[in-house]
Amino acid sequence: MLWFTELYSGEGMELKATGLTIRAEEAKRVKTPYQELLLLKTQDWGKVLVLDGAVQTTERDEFIYHEMIVHPAAFTFTREIERVLIIGGGDGGTVREVLKHQPKEVELVEIDREVVEVAKRELPQIAGKLSDERVKIVFTDGREFVKGKEEIYDLIIVDCSDPIGPSKVLYQEDFYRDCFKALKEDGIFITQSESPFAQNRVHKKVVKELQKVFPITRPYLAFIPTYPSGMWSFTIGSKRLDPLGVPPSALGKLYKELTEREGELKYYNPEIHYGAFAIPNFVYREE
């Protein structure tokens, strides 16, 4: 029996694997030009994508992360969403959730082509919408891609890995400033912002940097079993629209329209929309 272990600081998580599926012609981990990629079949979590030793997404709990990185910001728009930029997100889960809001165009800027190819081949439940005609995939560094862009996007979603390797440049103030410029006058930025419990220092740094750039900054929580400590966060930076300013009646109507058209969501709902922004005292208490 094979066990996969992810270690982070002084703790870790073990998944019982029932087999290693990477690529038929290779019986070892894949070293892409950017990171080490591993795709596991596991007993309890379905297939699992691992980058540089960190679990990125599992078939069993991916819906939590992908619904929560998209819907709190997307439902803040009470108008049509036209153009969305996703940086990272090569497994396709964020694209799948964004398309439920019927945007005109989604640009996915993923640095590692291998991630998209493996996801398309091995994770159809997550990557299935990557070939949608509204989706344009650009294989480049999202940091470079956003430089010089002005007032183009309604939503920019940074669906990146931990601040090691190629993702490091996506956790910096100058990157956030470039994203600010690339957003329309009422545009919204979202990034995954690590675990307020297991990575409190990194989380607080992301929030602090975003507060220097956006007039409205709102961290919020979701509980993702296969991420360090299970307590996970995302942070919204907004130019004008406040996710907590959406009237419940308007949100209820938009939510009903979307779920009647696209099917039930498995995690996000109007109560979660407001409740997710409630943050426990310890998170921002000065050490």
Q: Identify whether 159 is a catalytic site residue.
A: yes
d(CA 29, CA 12): 20
- Burial class of 1 by CB neighbour count within 10 A (0 to 12, 13 to 18, 19+): exposed
Which residues are CB-neighbours of 222 under 8 A, at least 6 positions away?
64, 65, 68, 232, 233, 234, 267, 276
Piece in contact with ligand SAM (CB under 6 A), picked from 71-79, 104-112, 175-183, 263-271: 104-112
- For ligand SAM, the binding residue among 100, 101, 129, 143 (CB under 6 A) is 143
| Nearest C-alpha neighbor of 209 from the set 247, 166, 248, 180 | 180
- For ligand SAM, the binding residue among 38, 39, 48, 87 (CB under 6 A) is 87
d(CA 283, CA 285): 6
Q: Give the residue carrying structure tokens 């900054």.
A: 217
Minimal distance, residue 95 CB to ligand SAM, in Å: 10
Piece in contact with ligand SAM (CB under 6 A), picked from 73-81, 163-171, 255-263, 275-283: 163-171
Q: Does 193 sit near ligand SAM (CB under 6 A)?
A: no
- For ligand SAM, the binding residue among 4, 45, 63, 65 (CB under 6 A) is 65
Kindly list the residues in this chain that would bind ligand SAM in the complex (CB under 6 A). Answer: 34, 51, 56-57, 62, 65, 87-91, 93, 109-112, 115, 141-143, 159-161, 166-167, 169-170
Active-site residue set:
159
